[in-house]
Amino acid sequence: MSEQTEPKVSQEVADAEFDRFAEAMDLDVDTSRMDTEDVETFKTSRRRVTDAIMRGSLAIDDAGQPVYQPLAGGDAITFYEPTGATFMAMDGKKKDHDFERTFSLLADMTRQLPKRFATMKQRDLKLCRTILGLFLG
């Protein structure tokens, strides 16, 4: 989080909300069983999520689902717990079309159209991809 921005939520509350999200969605957050690269990736992901919570652009709802208000505007995006159908959304996509596959996953788990992510600014897409990565971890 930028030092210039006064946080709307404390670090302690953001950490607790991240932990509540991880528990509700059964995310693998046990870094003792991760290799060095995975630990660093997880730490970066956790920091991005907690920074967004502190900024007030990300909240964890009563069901433990992340709800993101994109910085560039538009309606909030809820990240629902993925199902088998979420992963099937990649079927039929070419292996070398990584962004198309990613946007298909994001669209299914958020109940949005893939175009929402294809036209999203990087600052918002980075957090959406981070949340997706936590579910895939």
- Give tens-digit pLDDT for 48-103: 999 999 999 999 999 999 999 999 999 999 999 998 887 776 666 556 657 888 89
- Asked if 33 and 27 touch (Cβ cutoff 8 Å), the reply is no
pLDDT 10s digits, 12-33:
999 999 999 999 999 999 999 9
Would you say residue 3 has pLDDT above 60? no
Mean per-residue pLDDT, 95-124? 89
pTM as predicted = 0.89
122 pLDDT tier (thresholds 50, 70, 90)? very high
Model pLDDT, residue 4 = 58
Model pLDDT, residue 88 = 75
137 pLDDT tier (thresholds 50, 70, 90)? confident
CA distance linking residue 47 with residue 3, whole number of Å: 14
Mean pLDDT of the chain: 90
Sign of CA dihedral 20, 137, 42, 47: negative
Say what percent of the chain tops pLDDT 70. Answer: 90
CA distance linking residue 125 with residue 119, whole number of Å: 9
Model pLDDT, residue 86 = 77
The DSSP result for 97-112, as a single string, is -HHHHHHHHHHHHHT-
Would you say residue 121 has pLDDT above 80? yes
